[in-house]
Amino acid sequence: MNIICLGDSLMQQNGQDTYPQEGWPQELHNYLKDPQNTKVLDFALNGRSTKSFLDEGQLKKALQAAKEGDICLISFGHNDEKTDPKRHTDPYSSYQENLQYMYSEMKKKGVDSIFLSSVTRLKYDADKKLLHTHGDYPKAMEMEAKKLGIPYINLEKLSYDSLSQHDFDFNSFYFMCLNPDFYPNYQQGEKDTSHLNLNGAKWICKLVVPELIKIKPLTDLFLRDV
């Protein structure tokens, strides 16, 4: 069984040229019981919405690699909410339609899908209260998952609840909030509260894996001590 990942920059495979930024599936192999025989195939790309991902033919590439019995993790929303007409979707129409299309195309290949809402951004209001930053998209995804009868993991809530336990300084450890002159790729530093670093990728895996274990086809796929 392979795990196929469809999504945006929160899932994208990063290289040395963007280190320490990582998509969380980059750390997923560390939680597999048999990483030699269970591969993580990551087709997520930075900046994509469900619309642009489909328009650019990225789903077709994933379908070419998909085999019967694989599992597909589908997580979009960060960019669907953008006003850019090349990426924007409406949560209760085109967003759900695109999710349904990805699911149905994978199903034709004998691949079951799991929907995951987007990781919350690390943004606060004037009273230092952590904000929900994805509007209706998590709810719209949940509704579509129920309609299709497939698993849904509310990663927006899981990440929000986790971050709510700590202050910004603690939570920034997970994001691309980097001091100057520390990482060669970011000599000027970074104040990015949307994208994950290596620590953040591990953090999200520790939130996601216990939820994946609850899903019958994946029960014995992952280590339980995360």
pLDDT of residue 6 exceeding 70: yes
Question: Half-sphere exposure of residue 217, counting CA atoms within 13 Å on the CB side?
Answer: 15
pLDDT of residue 224 exceeding 90: no
The superfamily CATH assigns to domain 3-218 is SGNH hydrolase (3.40.50.1110)
Whole-structure pTM value: 0.96
Q: Who contacts 205 (Cβ-Cβ below 8 Å, separation ≥6)?
A: 24, 27, 28, 30, 31, 226
pLDDT in tens, 156-199: 999 999 999 999 999 999 999 999 999 999 999 999 999 999 99
